[in-house]
Each structure stands twice: as C-alpha cells, then as structure tokens.
Amino acid sequence: MATKPTIAFSHLGCEKNRIDTEHMIGLLAQAGYQVDSNEELADYVVVNTCSFIQAAREESVRTLVELAEANKKVVITGCMAQHFQQELLDELPEAVAIVGTGDYHKIVDVMQQVEKGDRVSLVSSEPTYIADETTPRYRTTSEGVAYLRIAEGCDYRCAFCIIPHLRGNQRSRTIESIVAEAKQLASEGVKEIILISQITTNYGKDIYGEPKLAELLRALGEVDVPWIRMHYAYPTGLTPQVVAAIRETPNVLPYLDLPLQHSHPEILRAMNRPFQAGINDAIVDRLKAALPGAVMRTTFIVGFPGETDEHAAHLLEFVKRHEFDHVGVFVFSPEEGTPAFSLPQQIPAEIMEMRRNAVMAAQQPISLKKNQESVGQVVDVLIEQEQPETGELIGRSARFSPEVDGLVYVTGEARLGSIVPVKITGADVYDLYGQVDFRL
C-alpha cells in the first residue's frame, strides 16, 4: 500500500483561523496523512490564509508566492480562499486546491481528489459549518493554553468589516457541547481556556433566542481548569447578568476584551455601530464599578472615512481618561465589498499613521503605570516557554492574553504548562519581570 503524502501547514491570521488549522491537522492525521512542520520536506503545503485587512492579505500573498517559487504544491484555505477564490486559481497554477472557511472539515476528501490529479475548488458561498467537540483536533498552542470556539460568524454589519461576508452569519454551539470540549481540554492538562467567537457577548442568540453567555460562564465554572478568559466581548452585551457571572465564577478571569473601535458618536454611527454611540463612557464606567480590578483591553480604528481632527482628539481624550490596561490601534483599511470602501473623505495614509502614533504614545505611560502596580506583588504566572541559552522562563499572568498583551520573564525553576507564584520585581511598558516564589 502506497504511503500517504506528507502535508505541512502554514498558518496566518487570527486564533479563529488557528482552530480551523488545528481541526484540519487532526482530520488529516486521523486519516493517516503525515503532518510535518517542515515545508521543505512536505509533498503539499496547506496555507490557511487571512483576508481581514490589506496587510494580512499581503502577508498571505507573500507566503503563497514564496511557496510557488519553491515549486510547492499548495492548498489554499481560510478567509482569502473564501474572498478571492477565482483570482487565486487564475494567478497561482501551483494551487492544487482552494477550500473556503465553511468547508475546511472536508480537507481529507479534498486531499484524496488532489492525489488523483484533480484541481479542487470547494468554497460554499455562505459558510454554515461549525466544528464541535467530536471533530478531531491537534492543538498548536503551548501546552497550557487552548482556544475554544463557542460560535462562528457574525450577524452585525459594521461598515468596515468583511468578516460576515467571509464567515457567514452567527451560529453558536450548545452549552453542553462547549462544556464537553472544555472538560476534554482540562483532562489534557490545559490550564487556560480562551473563549472566542466574532461577538462572544451574542453567544447563543441564534439557537436559544437570546444571548446565553452568563449561563455558559456559570456552566464552565464546573470545569476543572484554573483560568477561563473571554475575547471579543462587545461592551453592550456585558449585561448585569454577565457581569455577575464573571464576578461569581472563580475560574472566569475578570479580563474584558472590548472591541470599542472608536469613542466619538458620529464615527460610531458611520461605522454602523449605533448601539454604542454616545454610551461608551457610561459603559466603561459601569464595568469599572461592577468589576473593580478587572483588566480592560480594547482596540480602536483611526482614520475611518470622515474622521476629523476633532474626532481624533475625542478618541485621544477617551484613552487618557479611561486608562485601559491594554490598547491596540489599527489604521483604517478600505475593504472591497464593505460600505466603508466607497465612502467619501478617505483619510491620507500619513495622517492615519500620525493619529495611530498619537494614541499609542498616550497609552504607553498608562500601560507602564498599570504594570508597575504589580511590582512587589506575588502573582500567578502560566509558564509557557524556556529560553534554552539562559534558562529564563517566559509566561503570562492573568492580566495578559497570549500574543496580544505582554509577557512575564521569570527566573527560577518551574514546569512548562504549570501555573506558579511569581514575585514581580520589575516592569516596563509591555512586560513584567520576576522570580518564582515558593515561600508560602
């Protein structure tokens, strides 16, 4: 019997994409394919692409072109496959298959057809699939952490965002399905589960008729895992019931990832986020009062069409006033297929960059101050890496989410994937420094 070909993966984009990659690896491995991290040795390379903004597309295209120039047979999956299926087939003869965001679970069938010499294009126009706890999965994160997708797709239509076009409308998993997967992950030694979807606060609305995030958090409180973190919690969905569930469920971290996008009501309305216009200040103040000590991270877009100097100044003041723990700032990227693409008053790139730098400069002393508050404290740190040359350990405290926030650099001894007490001895704008502290 002929041995099955070897397949390597090149992963780009967000953690939602990462879960798709993990399921594809799991499905292919289950079907007997060799999955290798070395692209040079592989017969095929699956590139899971991102198409969220222009910079992401450029990175995806660079990766595809490099592989094509190395004469690799490429399978293109993910958001860019969904977005530009025909263009990719036309431009890249090396692409043996194109697989959309709602079709990645058919990767084994695709590879079988490719092996017969077929060129496969499998892109459902409206993605409806969502994997569950029964779908094979091979985790690619560090051993102590796992992402858990509670829903896929989005029912909102923000003027700047292409995601609903690429991922379809919201479809939630049941509470039972999510809890079953969380228990599975806990049994594998996972210490931190990160709940993700496009809008986590809308979880369950499509299957239960109303959002059920509070009930989900309480159900996950029964799972034996120390940290449960939420991403993409829209501020308007952090109802008193959800806030109470965060407060009363010990393993749910009081970490609020609020994609606010802007502060000025006029820009929020232009972004088609009218539910937020004029109430951002009140929401942030209410959350701070209800969850004192909660970590707050947010993201903003500068340079949305029509953004004036006055709007930009409003955002700057908002950032200074609320003192978020972590802030990410993106410059507006005009996406074909979204309403904002053809809006008048597009902002020149150099002005957008200037506004982005101004917000980041305003945030830096705030982030430094927040980090310095940890100095002298003993905090729990999840150890994720070891620097082989120095023996220094690298991890994260509950204040830091992977890849988007800072790190904790630790001296001393601890097992990878364990949570240990660390005495914080130093801080800079992004990171903390400390030593393992076992003097109980």
**Domain shared by 97 and 234, yes or no:** no
What pLDDT does 79 receive? 86
Which of 322, 342, 373 marks a domain boundary?
373
Q: Is the Cβ–Cβ distance between 202 and 155 less than 8 Å?
A: yes
Same domain, 360 and 412: no
Shared domain for 255 and 349, answered yes or no, is yes
Q: State whether 78 and 158 are in the same domain.
A: no
- How confident is the model at residue 51, as a pLDDT? 77
- CATH of residue 385: 2.40.50.140
Q: How far apart are CA 88 and CA 101, in angstroms?
A: 15
| 59/61 Cα distance (integer angstroms) | 5
Question: Residue 161 has what pLDDT?
Answer: 81
Residues 6+ apart with CB under 8 A from 403: 15
Residue 369 resides in a domain: yes
Tell me the CA distances in angstroms from 86 to 66, 83, 94, 103, 394, one per residue in order: 20, 9, 14, 16, 43
Are 394 and 387 contacting, i.e. CB atoms less than 8 angstroms apart? yes
As for how many domains the chain has, the answer is 3
347 assigned to some structural domain:
yes
50 marked ligand binding residue:
yes
Q: Is 14 annotated as a binding residue?
A: yes
- pTM of the entire predicted model: 0.93
Token couple for 333:
């990227």
Beta strands in 160-251 (DSSP E): 171-172, 192-196, 227-230
Q: Is 73 left (phi over 0), alpha (psi -120 to 50) or beta?
A: beta
- Between CA 80 and CA 64 the distance in angstroms is 11
> How many other C-beta atoms can be found within 10 angstroms of the C-beta atom of residue 233?
24
Based on the fold, state whether residues 364 and 247 are members of the same structural domain. Answer: yes
pLDDT of residue 53: 67
Q: Do 186 and 275 lie in a common domain? A: yes
83 and 179 inside one domain: no
Q: CA dihedral defined by 204, 208, 214, 216, rounded to 10 degrees?
A: -70
Q: Is 428 annotated as a binding residue?
A: no
SS (H, E, C) 225-253: CCEEEECCCCHHHCCHHHHHHHHHCCCEC
**348 inside domain:** yes
Domain CATH number, residue 81 = 3.40.50.12160
Which pLDDT value is given to residue 98?
93
Q: Is residue 140 assigned to a domain?
A: no
- Tell me whether residue 412 is in a domain: yes
Last residue of a domain, one of 328, 357, 373: 373
In this structure, the answer to whether residues 182 and 324 fall within a common structural domain is yes
For the chain (440 residues), the mean pLDDT of every run of 10, in chain order, is 82 87 94 88 89 76 83 88 86 89 94 93 89 93 94 87 85 97 97 95 95 97 97 90 96 95 94 82 92 94 96 97 96 86 90 97 97 96 92 95 94 94 96 85
Give strand pairing partners of 98.
Answer: 76, 121
Quote the tokens at residue 248: 């009363």
DSSP 74-121: EEEEEHHHHHSHHHHHHH-TTEEEEE-TT-GGGHHHHHHHHHTT--EE
Instruction: Measure the CA–CA gap between 77 and 100, rounded to whole angstroms.
Output: 6
Pair 361, 387 in one domain: no
Please answer whether residues 300 and 271 qualify as being in contact, where contact means their C-beta atoms are separated by less than 8 angstroms: no
Domain holding 237: CATH number? 3.80.30.20
Same-domain pairing of 407 and 368: no
Task: Say whether both 284 and 407 belong to one domain.
Answer: no
Same-domain status, 355 and 405: no
C-alpha to C-alpha distance for 367 and 310, rounded to whole angstroms? 25
283, two tokens: 């929401």
Write the single-letter amino acid at 214: A
pLDDT for the residue 440: 52
Specify if 127 maps to a domain: no
Nearest to residue 246, comparing CAs of 433, 87, 398, 371?
398
Last residue of a domain, one of 327, 347, 373: 373
User: Looking at the domain assignment, is residue 224 inside a domain?
Assistant: yes
- Does any domain span residue 129? no
Expressed as residue numbers, the domain containing 79 is: 6-122
